[in-house]
Amino acid sequence: MPDLSDLELLDALGVEAKAKKKVKLTPKQERIIAGFEEIQRFVEDHGHAPKHGEDKDIFERLYATRLDRIRKLPECRELVEDLDTEGLLEGSELSDEAILEDVGDDELLAQLGVEAQKSNDITELKHVKSQAQKEREKADEVGTREPCKDFDNFKPMFESVQADLKTGLRKTLPFNKDGSIEEGNWFILGGQKALVADVGDQFIGTDGRKEYRLRVIFDNGVESNQLMRSLQKRLWEDETGRRISDTSYGPLFDDVETEEDLASGTIYVLRSKLDHPVINQSRDVIHKIGVTGGEVKKRIANAKNDPTYLMADVEIVATYELFNINRKKLEALIHRFFDNAKMEIEIKDRFGKPVVPQEWFLVPLFVIDEVVEKIKDKTISEYKYDIEKASLVSISNNKKK
């Protein structure tokens, strides 16, 4: 059977084909249809009908107002009804911003507080940033985020800061609007800890002010190259944004008492009597260091049954009494100071379960004496413990080298 044309096929079916009259549209009707098609493109791009609100993009507000007008005016509804594949005309609620008179886009924009350029394209506006421009500025503000390739170098630092926060050696503080940002500073932004690993060279920003490009490392293993003023702004606007303080070795001698404070406390240094190859080899320099508000003798009375004391008796080799101190902060300070000399030895508790007791350090007694003196005169933050030299060294001298 030979192929039939559409007209022949209709004729064979007994259907009379009538030529559809082409309706000539007025300029006004063409504008209405074109405007409705722009609204449809917005819906295709964003997945929802345009909405009103000062927090919305100006184009979305314009489309929302235009849609309200089309819904309300019968001549507009009838004109675009056949084009409405998304059911946009079904909406009936009108916003306070709805403008129902037959006004042009320029007038709509004027009523929305925006001045339009003399152009046929409503997207050419004064005082309004294009979406592309806003996206560029947003990217510049947040910076390019990408995986941090050398995050393994930073991971221990994040773990250390977390430990400092937990023990109270560091604190989180509100971020001031014009707060300074320097290399090595720590912050909390969007619930993530962030380290300013590097501050680039100074340049003049688009607003004419001094600006710096940063390298910011986040605890989730990504990094950003955002601008300093952008980071300041984001920290200020983030209700949970905080600055993490530098390592604080005080206030150990607080003037204001807290529930955790006592009028006095004792630093105690213990030596184990355990018969163990590791202990026997370096017994004179293996010490447990702690702080208590009670009597040390009572604390160690049951040492041989306590894995904290290596399941063995101990001897008290030194005690130092201090007044008006925060015991928890003091103990955390000492343990943090000797962290690189922490000794881990696995023993079995009385139930045969393996445990690794804490608070034991490979440190000579004379070094502990020095540390206590530095704590008393509040200069401990200027030193660190060099485990290879088994002595205190000045941090400032190391930096000069």
pLDDT at 112: 45
Euclidean distance between CA atoms 87 and 91, whole angstroms: 8
* Radius of gyration from C-alpha coordinates of the chain: 37
Token code pair at residue 136: 């560029």
How many domains in the chain?
A: 3
pLDDT at 11: 63
pLDDT at 108: 53
Going from the C-alpha of 210 to that of each of 140, 205, 228, the distances in angstroms are 16, 6, 10
Phi–psi pair at 288, nearest 5 degrees: -100, 130
Co-location of 87 and 210 in the same domain: no
pLDDT at 150: 92
Co-location of 118 and 204 in the same domain: no
Going from the C-alpha of 341 to that of each of 282, 292, 333, 359, 384, the distances in angstroms are 13, 22, 14, 10, 11
Euclidean distance between CA atoms 367 and 363, whole angstroms: 7
**Is 82 inside a domain boundary?**
yes
What is the strand order of the sheet 146-147 is part of? 146-147, 222-224, 210-218, 192-204, 186-189, 242-244, 172-174
Co-location of 278 and 392 in the same domain: yes
Look at residue 196 and tell me whether its pLDDT is greater than 60.
yes
**Is 218 inside a domain boundary?**
yes
Co-location of 237 and 290 in the same domain: no
pLDDT band at 221 (very low <50, low <70, confident <90, very high): very high
Phi–psi pair at 306, nearest 5 degrees: -120, 120
Residues 51 and 8: beta-carbon distance below 8 Å: no
Say what the pTM is: 0.39
What percentage of the chain reaches a pLDDT higher than 70?
74
Rounded (10°) CA dihedral 244, 245, 249, 250: -110
**Is 95 inside a domain boundary?**
yes
The mean per-residue pLDDT over the stretch 243-258 comes to: 56
Token code pair at residue 272: 């184990």
**Is 223 inside a domain boundary?**
yes
Look at residue 17 and tell me whether its pLDDT is greater than 60.
no
Look at residue 96 and tell me whether its pLDDT is greater than 60.
no
Look at residue 265 and tell me whether its pLDDT is greater than 70.
yes
Look at residue 217 and tell me whether its pLDDT is greater than 90.
yes
Co-location of 283 and 396 in the same domain: yes
Give 126's contacts (C-beta < 8 A, 6+ positions apart).
Answer: 114, 115, 116, 117
**Is 110 inside a domain boundary?**
yes
Look at residue 302 and tell me whether its pLDDT is greater than 80.
yes
Q: Tell me how far apart the 2 most distant CA atoms of the chain are, in Å.
A: 115
pLDDT at 250: 45
Euclidean distance between CA atoms 348 and 62, whole angstroms: 74
The mean per-residue pLDDT over the stretch 324-332 comes to: 79
Token code pair at residue 383: 């030193």
Highest mean pLDDT out of 7-11, 130-134, 380-384, 392-396: 380-384
**Is 15 inside a domain boundary?**
no
More confident residue, 136 or 31: 31
The alpha carbon of residue 111 and the mean position of all alpha carbons in its chain are separated, in whole angstroms, by: 39
Going from the C-alpha of 143 to that of each of 135, 268, 329, the distances in angstroms are 11, 50, 38
Token code pair at residue 59: 């184009």
Range of the domain at 225: 149-244
pLDDT at 292: 85
More confident residue, 390 or 16: 390
Look at residue 367 and tell me whether its pLDDT is greater than 90.
yes
Co-location of 286 and 360 in the same domain: yes
Co-location of 273 and 392 in the same domain: yes
Rounded (10°) CA dihedral 294, 322, 336, 184: 140
The mean per-residue pLDDT over the stretch 78-95 comes to: 76
Range name among 65-69, 143-147, 221-225 with the lowest pLDDT average = 143-147
